[in-house]
Amino acid sequence: MRIEEDTLGKVTLPDNAYYGAQTKRAVENFQISGLRLQRQFIRAQGTVKLAAAKANASFGLLNKKVLHAIEKAAIEVIRGKHDSQFVVDVYQAGAGTSQNMNINEVIANRAIEILRSKKGNYRLIHPNDHINMAQSTNDTIPTAIYISSFESVKERLVPNLKRLYQGLLKKSQEFNKILKAGRTHLQDAVPMTLGQEFSGYAEGIRNDIQRLQKASRSLLYLPIGGNAVGTGINAHPMFQDRVIKEIRKITSIKFMKARNSFEGIQNVYPALELSASLRGLAVTLTKIANDIRLLSSGPRTGFAEIILPPVQTGSSIMPGKVNPVMAEMLNMVCFQVIGNDTAITYATQASQLELNVMMPLIAYNLLFSIDILSNAIEAFNKKCINGIKANERNCRKFAESTLAIATALNPILGYESAAKVAKKAYITGRTIKQIVIEKGILKEKEADKLLNPFKLSKPF
């Protein structure tokens, strides 16, 4: 064990802990959930601290020896070597002061160790004076949120969405000539192809990719350099420009400084904008998952228009039952994302005066949504969409029997007369085609041509 001291007094710490007194107090104060901020966030924090050290050193505020030690420690954090040292609960001190001090202390103590001294020798490298130089919780935490969220969307979520889009597009082409009945209000509608239905799903995903990418662009404006309230107090006049330049070098992403540092610290609206687009994506995915469940319902008492790849047994009591488990999983993930967005919305509007003090909650829920959506989309595409097969016989049967084929009679008979034909077909259990031939409304060849389901599915 070792003893450290902060402004409140002495604290006992395990000797192998790189975190220090302020982190230890936070661990004792916030034993709430056992949840910790994600790996992506810790990596982003390491990026901010590394960039800040390089910027400060370029102004002569850190000597080369200290910079080298901090740089090495920060890179280890970025690479995940010290993840076990980030021990503060998500539900912690407001803006994330404990989280900021956690990384300040870890990097400081590891840098001290690199310089062959003992942890806690803060006369050599201090968590606040050196690691947190020219920074504040108030500008580093939102900066870490934006960096980690942008990287997560760019590196995982969008690529997985693009693969899902391609999977749906492939199915739309594969099913393009398979006729089926459309359905509106869950009732019979005019004929269409299964491929047309899937093309709608693909386009919905493509639109969500565009919305996500647009929302992500707001994350490129970082409030780092604004310090406590936006004035940049205690920072070199060129610190903001230099630290952004260093972040760009580390991440290879074209981050920029916030257009207004005061607004950038008062609010966390880029996170809210991204969360809203994730919620929209969740709504799109929910619709697709629900449709997949409906279209695959059966196999004998439902629609049974598509056949899903069996990935596991569906019942602990009913032998041979196979359920649409991947679609159900996707539904659950989407509902969670919508709930996360609600939490983020409330936390974002909780900004007061110069600061939002709910940022750890925003960070956790935003990254949680991105993570589970990325994983769910990948699994859904691989284990469900890619293996879907069409039940062409069932599709064709419904296409030919839908009463909405009577819509094609509107130009000839008018709406009311066509409705009577549809009603007669329903009562007798016969098809629209059979009724119009029997009643002499159309000759067989005319009926074949006018009421051809495939032709009706491609009116243009």
CB atoms within 10 A of CB 243: 30
d(CA 417, CA 98): 74
pLDDT tens profile 337-371: 999 999 999 999 999 999 999 999 999 999 999 99
* pLDDT above 90: percentage of residues in the chain: 96
Residues 186-209, mean pLDDT to the nearest whole number: 97
- Asked if the model's pLDDT at residue 133 lies above 70, the reply is yes
Give me the phi and psi of 357, to 5 degrees please: -110, 25
Q: Which of 84, 315, 374, 457 is catalytic?
A: 315
Q: Using DSSP, state whether 442 is helix, strand or coil.
A: coil
d(CA 418, CA 440): 14
d(CA 212, CA 193): 30
User: 417 catalytic, yes or no?
Assistant: no
- Asked if the model's pLDDT at residue 194 lies above 80, the reply is yes
How many residues comprise the chain? 460
pTM over 0.85: yes
Determine if the peptide bond prior to 299 is cis (ω within 30°). Answer: yes
Nearest Cα neighbor of 115 from 72, 84, 76 is 72
d(CA 111, CA 118): 10
Nearest Cα neighbor of 216 from 144, 152, 285 is 152
- Give the contacts of 291 (CB within 8 A, at least 6 positions apart): 197, 201
d(CA 291, CA 383): 16
Residues 156-164, mean pLDDT to the nearest whole number: 98
Residues 205-217, mean pLDDT to the nearest whole number: 98
Q: Which amino acid is at 169?
A: L
Mean pLDDT of the chain: 96
pLDDT level of residue 454 (50, 70, 90 thresholds): confident
* pLDDT above 70: percentage of residues in the chain: 100
- Asked if the model's pLDDT at residue 459 lies above 80, the reply is no
Given this model, what pLDDT does residue 288 score?
98
Q: Which two tokens stand for residue 421?
A: 């034909």
3-state helix, strand, coil in the chain (%, to 5): 60, 10, 30
Q: What is the DSSP letter of 11?
A: E
- The β-bridge relationship of strands 179-184 and 389-390 is unpaired
CB 450 within 8 A of CB 432: no
Residues 125-150, mean pLDDT to the nearest whole number: 98
Given this model, what pLDDT does residue 460 score?
63
CB atoms within 10 A of CB 307: 17
- Return the C-alpha torsion angle 376, 377, 378, 384, nearest 10: 90
d(CA 43, CA 83): 9
d(CA 80, CA 74): 10
CB 302 within 8 A of CB 352: no
Least confident of 5-14, 39-48, 63-72, 324-333: 5-14
Residues 456-460, mean pLDDT to the nearest whole number: 80
Interhelix angle 269-295/359-383, rounded to 10 degrees, is 30
Which segments within 252-296 are labelled E, that is strand? 256-257
pLDDT tens profile 99-117: 999 999 999 999 999 999 9
- Asked if the model's pLDDT at residue 419 lies above 80, the reply is yes
d(CA 207, CA 27): 43
Greatest extent of the chain over all pairs of C-alpha atoms, in Å: 101
Give me the phi and psi of 221, to 5 degrees please: -95, 110
pLDDT tens profile 58-88: 999 999 999 999 999 999 999 999 999 999 9
Domains belonging to the chain, first-starting first, are 2-133 (1.10.275.10), 139-176+185-234+266-391 (1.20.200.10), 402-456 (1.10.40.30)
pLDDT level of residue 204 (50, 70, 90 thresholds): very high
Q: H/E element holding 114?
A: helix 97-114
